[in-house]
Amino acid sequence: TFVTFAWMIATRAARDDPRDSRPLDVVAAAIIVDGRVLLAQRSRPAELAGRWELPGGRVESGETHAAALTREIREELGAEVEPAESVGSPVALPGGLTLYAYVARLRSGTPTALEHLDVRWFSADELRLFDAAEIVPADRDWIPDLCAVLDGT
Ligand code: 9L3
Ligand code: MG
């Protein structure tokens, strides 16, 4: 019908596949240990490869943000975390997605680059000096928020 057709056009921009009914939320983890936050270097897609991010990914249907964050960090870094307070403001991503960041307490395991190119721990001073062009665009605005959290730990 026309309504269905119009809906497919409207949602095509938001999702690669119009049959993809997953939520439009993406969650990212600020894992903080000994006053330093973990950033991970993306391996894909090409336009983001080599840039640093707070690790995380898409929320699946029926999943809470906390559950998605725990799963993503287990998949991407092989570590167990417990999500806590939010960091900064949500960020609008291309394609209609919205990105949320949370402090995540490391429970066990050593975060390892299983899907990333590398992982690295940053102090607030190192973050402030880090070249913003090396951070994925969506995460750049969180740097002052992350520094404030680190300064408070
Ligand atoms: N993204 C941006 N910053 C982040 C994360 C975890 C994700 N800190 C963007 C990249 C992708 C989308 O969100 O466009 C989905 O993330 P992923 O599943 O590719 O990690
Ligand atoms: Mg990811």
- Residue by residue, DSSP assigns 104-135 as EEEEES----SSSSEEEEE-HHHHHHS-GGGB
Contact 70/82 with Cβ under 8 angstroms?
A: yes
* CA dihedral sign of residues 49, 110, 150, 56: positive
Query: ipTM > 0.95?
Result: yes
Q: What is the pLDDT of residue 9?
A: 46
Share of the chain above pLDDT 90, in %: 86
Name the residue at shortest CA distance from atom 20 of ligand 1. 57
Q: What is the pTM of this model?
A: 0.90
Which ligand 1 atom is the nearest neighbour of the CA of 44? 19
Span 128-138, average pLDDT: 97
Name the residue at shortest CA distance from atom 16 of ligand 1. 57
Greater confidence (9 vs 112) lies with: 112
Span 21-27, average pLDDT: 96
Contact 129/122 with Cβ under 8 angstroms?
A: no
Q: What is the per-residue pLDDT across 64-102, written as a single tens digit (0 to 9) for each?
A: 999 999 999 999 999 999 999 999 999 999 999 999 999
What average pLDDT is seen over the chain?
A: 92
Asked if residue 45 has a cis previous peptide bond (ω within 30° of 0), the answer is yes
Q: Which two tokens stand for residue 82?
A: 């417990």
Residues 6+ apart with CB under 8 A from 54: 28, 29, 30, 37, 39, 40, 101, 139, 142
